[in-house]
Structure 1
Amino acid sequence: MVKLSLRARLLLLTTGLLLAGMTLISAVVSSQLTRYQLDRLDSQLRSFTEIVAKVAPSGPDREQPARPELLDPALDLIGAPYLAYLGPDGSIVGTLRSSRVDAASFPTDDELRSLPIDGSAGVLQAADHEGRWRAVARPAVGWNGTVIAAAPLTEADATIARLRTTSLISGAALLVLLTAIGWWALGRGLRPLRRIENTAAAIADGDLTQRVPGLAAPGTEIGHLASSLNTMLGQLEQAFADRAAAESRMRVFLADVSHELRTPLVGIKGSTELYRMGGSDVDEAMGRIDREATRLTELTQHLLLLAQLDEAPEGQLDRAPMDLRTIANDARHDVRALDPSRPVALTGPQTRHPPGPAPVHGDEDRLRQVITNLVGNAIAHTPPGTPVTIRAGTIGDQAILFVEDDGPGMTDEQADRVFDRFYRADRARKHSAGAGTGLGLAIARSIARAHGGDVVLDTAVGAGASFQLWLPVLGQADVGRVQLGDTGDAE
């Protein structure tokens, strides 16, 4: 089956509808003209028979009258070339007829007698069956008989035939002309679709920067289509860019994982080789193997936790009502334990105020892990004795816990990547066992987002760093269920 183009299908549909419309109009016009002519002729015949019915036949017979030069114009004037008188028995007792009409073309006597005499018009066949007549019969007045007036339909039929022929010829010419115009107009109308097709072909060849040009006004169908396609193309380009970026990050991630796994494995391998060669005793070799195994185990656990948080974050949480002030107070003690030389302050969102209520619905163990990572990061990346401030409270509908330091801060590039997995601002820093893999802040952000919150960084070079944990505040109905721990005194 041949599949036509959209242009051809539209043209065929339009031409078919146009042909149907022209045919219907022609039929209606022809029918109305026929009805008009018959009504006009019927009116003339009824008026004539009404007059003639009052006059008794005196002299006319079935033969042609002697004065056709007078009778013919008179009959033509009243539109009835044939007048017949019928007696009581239905016999023809007299006629008047135009000499211009052949006698064989008049209706037969039987046709005349078949007419109803109530004045309604009827159609009669000519005696030679070459034409039709319109006739009206009426009872005579003053004498017993019937008067019949008849007129040929030859002229009316010829007029209708000419009308139909003219309509057919002019309609065919108009149809051809409009089809040609339609083909041209559809070609121009569908030109934007061809440009869209060319754009799609270019995109299919790999050029994702292509866009559909402004082909029509925004309010038109083509304009809406172009706008929608451009939006879709922008999303596709972004999706491909995101995919490429994700693949790049995955390659870097796999390289980093391989490196991080290789380091402890090389240490374990080296310790066994050194022991085998007699370069170390059993205790020294086992100590090194234990440290590297511990580091390897913790790295594996961190990677597993990140994978679980990526796949089903909500399933890794054991939520309960709690207050972030408890964790904040414990974090203050952790800082003192890790570096007693550091000044530590526990305040509310405003420096001069004590910590405020920060009720949340969260997993306390996971949130402690977040704060432990933030505190450890602050201690690891600032000089000893650098002050640390911990803030807890509520800002709007968010509970907050900030860990701030007065250290050297970070550049914009470092701040943009600090939450990336395996990213370390100082690549030269030596790892301690189980630390320094660059996963701590990535885990912290994943846990916060699993709670419906986030961890963000506010930093600048020379202005310190503020790691901010934001979580949705617990609903008022559950605030009373939160068991507050010891918050200590603000310092």
Structure 2
Amino acid sequence: MNPTVGSAPETTATPPARAARRGIPLRVSLVALTLALVVVGLLTSGIAVTSAMRADLIGRLDASLIEATNTWAIPGPGPFSSRERSRGPRGEGPGPRRPPSNFYVRVDFSGESLVTSDYAWTPNLSSLPVVDTGPRTVASTGTGPDWRVIQRISPTDQSARIVVATPLADVDATMSRLIWLQVGIGSVVVLMLGGAGYLLVNSSLRPLRRVEETAHAIAGGDLDRRVPEMRPGTEVASLADSINGMLAQIQTAFAATEASEQQARASEERMRRFIADASHELRTPLTSIKGFSELIRGDMMPDPADGVRRISAEADRMSMLVEDLLMLARLDSQRPLTTAPVMLSELVRDAAAAARAAAPDREIIVEDQTRDPGPVVDGESPRLMQVLRNLIGNAIMHTPAGTPISVVVSEETGQARVDVVDQGPGLSAEDAQRVFERFFRGDSSRHRETAAAGSGLGLSIVAALIEAHGGRVGVTTGPGQGARFWFVLPTVRARD
């Protein structure tokens, strides 16, 4: 039977995610690396000094041993005599009057040994060959220090030998003190260098912390933040300059992107409002035309001719609205104008004369404050005439009957200005800010009180045409103070 049949599927435990290892700060790494190099240097110098000192001390011991075998411990030419045996090697045997000796001396002859030593230790001489040997190092018999030993054989009797040795206890003690002294001094040096190095590295990395703080501030949204200026000529100063240059470019790119997005949103919003307003304006005459057509078709119109007249009037209004919309569309597409020099004063007089013919009951005065023949601008004459007609017609439409209207022409340095001034009710501050918007008539409900009411595109066309000619347009007004609509165009001399 297969044991896996019907059993639960085998699962394996997923090992827990490894915790993110915390990085070592740069200042700690630099100090640790510096201290590691210092320790290696101290160890190297300590080993070299200790080895040289030990070699020098042992060399001095070897020199004393060689001197002893060449002077007082030199073996004789033949077998040792009984007199030599009683004296020991070239000297008086040990006794209370003999001063302490630093040497261990052993004389072997005829199977007998004579030892002179003031030490409690004994060198292990079993490893010495039966030839002249040394100086060399041997261990003690049992416990004790190492020894430096030199052995000399009698030239006539190979069984006769003299061994002179001295312990290395003083050398080992000196080396031990030297090693501990180096360890103590090295530890103090490492600690002092560690503290001073940490302070120095911490101070040197302070500019980098400023860069880090600036980066955190920028990440938090403070795009105007910059890295403070550093001392010139350093790597950190070069880094700060590079970062500041990069941040300036990034901020410029962000600003351009944001401005483009805002412009796109504003353009989209204007397009939506324009489409909604155009639909509203076109729907009204279409509804009227459809209504009158239904009344005429159903013989419910008492006077069919009046209905046809009303339909024609609504069609004319719709045609004018469509033409205005097409005009604004062409201006929005920034199609180039067919420009030529235009005598602005003459154009103003023609526009005023046309307005008087259309409204003979209104007083329209032209005030030409320029020198003859007046300013000359570079523009498209029919479009500038449309600007003047719209401004004068707007003044006629929004002022009571009998209110005079003044058209003032003036010239400044390189600019020509035209003001259309009326004495009507004026505009509020809110309406003055929106008066050049499309379909704005100061009436949010868009209810037509009179048949002559406009579509709200006249001043929008004025602003678009003046902008296309490279000029500026504005209004100065207040409630009960009348309105002064003006535009400024560059003269031909200024463009040359």
Structure-2 residue corresponding to 1:395:
412
Letter in structure 2 aligned against 1:317: L
1:469 deviates by 0.6
| 1:345 maps to which of 365, 370, 375 | 365
**1:298-339 CA distances to partner (integer Å, 9 max, x unpaired)?**
2123223324433x33x2533333342232222221232222
Change (3 A) 1:56 1:252: same
Whole-Å separation in 2 of the counterparts to 1:95 and 1:393: 123
In the other structure, the counterpart of 1:455 is: 473
How is 1:209-288 mapped onto 2 (pairs within 5 angstroms)?
Answer: 253-280=274-301, 283-288=305-310
CA distance in structure 1 between the partners assigned to 2:311 and 2:42 by the alignment: 106
Q: Spell out, residue by residue over 1:236-260, the C-alpha distance to the aligned partner (whole angstroms, 9 max, x if none).
A: 9999999998887666555433331
**For the residues of structure 1 that align with 2:134 and 2:55, how far apart are their CA atoms?**
22
Distance in 1, Cα, partners of 2:67 & 2:493: 109
Q: CA deviation at 1:44?
A: 8.1
- 1:102 aligns with one of 124, 146, 150: 146
Which amino acid is the alignment partner of residue 360 of structure 1?
V
Q: Which moved more, 1:263-272 or 1:150-159?
A: 150-159
Contact 1:318 1:363 in 2 (8 A): yes
Residue 58 in structure 1 maps to residue 99 in structure 2 = no
Identify unmatched segments of 5+ residues in structure 1. Answer: 73-90, 109-130, 132-149, 201-211, 479-491
Cα 1:58–1:465 change in 2 (3 A) is same
1:80-479 equivalence runs, <5 A: 101-103=145-147, 155=176, 158=179, 162=183, 253-280=274-301, 283-310=305-332, 312-313=333-334, 315-348=335-368, 357-425=374-442, 429-430=448-449, 432=451, 436-476=454-494, 478=496
Q: Return the alpha-carbon distance in structure 2 between the equivalents of residues 286 and 65 of structure 1.
A: 162
Closer, same or farther: CA 343–33 of 1 in aligned 2, 3 Å = farther
- Whether the 8 Å CA contact 1:30–1:164 is kept in 2: the answer is no
1:183-208 Cα deviation digits (max 9, x unpaired): xx9xxx999999998x88xxxxxxxx
2:33 to 16, 20, 25: 20
Secondary structure of 2:32 counterpart: helix
Unmatched tracts of structure 2, length 5 or more? 1-16, 76-88, 92-97, 104-130, 152-167, 231-239
Letter in structure 2 aligned against 1:332: A
1:205-236 Cα distance to aligned partner (Å, 9 max, x none): xxxxxxx8xx9999999xx9xx9999999999
Tell me how far apart the structure 2 counterparts of residues 270 and 93 of structure 1 sit (CA, whole Å): 141
CA contact (8 A) 1:342 1:385 kept: yes
Query: 2:90 and 2:187 mapped to 1: Cα distance?
Result: 40
Provide closer, same or farther for how the CA distance between residues 194 and 96 of structure 1 changes in structure 2, counting only shifts above 3 A.
closer
Instruction: Provide closer, same or farther for how the CA distance between residues 450 and 53 of structure 1 changes in structure 2, counting only shifts above 3 A.
Output: farther
1:264: Cα distance to partner?
Answer: 0.5
Shift of 1:2: 6.7
CA contact (8 A) 1:406 1:463 kept: yes
% identical equivalent positions: 31
Q: Distance in 2 between matches of 1:296 and 1:282?
A: 21
TM-superposed deviation, 1:296: 1.5
Letter matched to residue 318 of structure 2: L
**Structure label with greater radius of gyration:** 2
Helix, strand or coil at the partner of 2:353: helix
Cα–Cα, structure 1 residues 368 and 160, in superposed 2: closer, same or farther, change >3 Å? farther
Q: Which protein, 1 or 2, shows the higher relative CO under an 8 Å CA cutoff with sep ≥ 6?
A: 1
Q: Secondary structure at the match of 2:328?
A: helix
- Aligned residue for 2:492, secondary structure, equals coil
- Give TM-score scaled by structure 2 length: 0.57
Relative to structure 1, is the Cα distance of residues 69 and 240 closer, same or farther in structure 2, using a 3 angstrom cutoff? farther
Q: What is the one-letter code of the residue matched to 2:353?
A: H
Q: Helix, strand or coil for the counterpart of 2:322?
A: helix
2:42 is matched with 29
Deviations 1:90-118 (A, max 9, x none): x9787599998513x8899xxxxxxxxxx
Shift of 1:59: 3.5
CA RMSD of aligned residues (A): 6.0
